[in-house]
Structures are given as structure tokens and as C-alpha cells.
A = this chain, B = another copy of it.
Amino acid sequence: MEALGRTRWALAEGYIPPGSHGPHPQMLSHETLCLLNTSDQDADVRIIIFFSDRDPVGPYRVTVAARRTKHLRINDLADPAPVPIDTDYACVVESSIPIVVQQTRLDSRQAENALFSTVAFPA
């Protein structure tokens, strides 16, 4: 299958809730970038994180293998620096080939979890 999607995506909403209820890792409050690479080539992906009060951080680099999806928890990003919890952020995702990007958050600060997901904006 050909490479579906776009090579650049943006999300203006980003926030890792502080605190969680329920078993880890499933019910840990988290935010996930879901990346889909439908093509026969690996996708080299660069993520830039924007903040409200400091310079952007990145790029974070990940590879999405050919014909695979990767559901990447923002919580797990480490290099060049972890993304702080309880902090407003936004992100831009750039890829060497077209991919599809969708954002999901699970917020378990309260006893029952809350959930959203939205397709990112193809920038």
C-alpha cells in the first residue's frame, strides 16, 4: 500500500494529568500520539514540543516501521528531556514519508477515567 497521510501534523492541546487511579500502566494518566505508517518504507519521525513559557524542546526521534502503527506515550519520551507533567504543551510531528497521526488522552485523576481522541491537524 502507498504511504497514506501527510508529512506534517500539529496538535495545539497537550497535557499529562498529574496523578492517577487504577492499575499501571493501563490506567496511568497519559497522552498518546498514535502514528500509522501504511507504506513499505520505515518512517523517520521528529516531534517538537511547544510550551507556554519556554522555548520548544526537540526533536524527539522515533521510527515507525513499514506497515506498522506505533502508539507512543508522551509520558515515555526521554531524549532530549522528559515532557513535564501538569504542564500545558503542544506539538508538531514531522515525518520523512506520509503518516497518519491521532492523539488520545486518558485522565484518571479521579476514580473513573475520562478519555478523548482526535485526529491531528494536517499542517
A123 / chain B contacts, CB cutoff of 8 Å: 4-5, 100
Within 8 A of B (CB), among A81-123: 88-90, 92, 99-107, 109-123
Interface string of A23-43 (1 = CB under 8 A from B): 000110000101110100000
- Count of chain A residues with Cβ under 8 Å from any Cβ of B? 58
Are A100 and B38 closer than 8 Å at their CB atoms? no
Q: Say whether A68 contacts B48, CB under 8 Å.
A: no
Min CB distance, A109 to chain B, in Å? 7
Contacts of A116 in B (CB 8 A): 104, 115-117
CB-CB under 8 A from A11, the residues of chain B are 36, 100, 102, 119
Does B115 lie within 8 Å of A118, measured CB to CB? no
Interface membership of A60, Cβ < 8 A: no
Residues on B with beta carbons closer than 8 Å to the beta carbon of A38: 10, 50, 92
- On whether the beta carbons of A50 and B22 are closer than 8 Å, the reply is no
Q: Are B117 and A114 in contact (CB under 8 A)?
A: no
Interface residue A70 (Cβ < 8 Å from any Cβ of B): yes
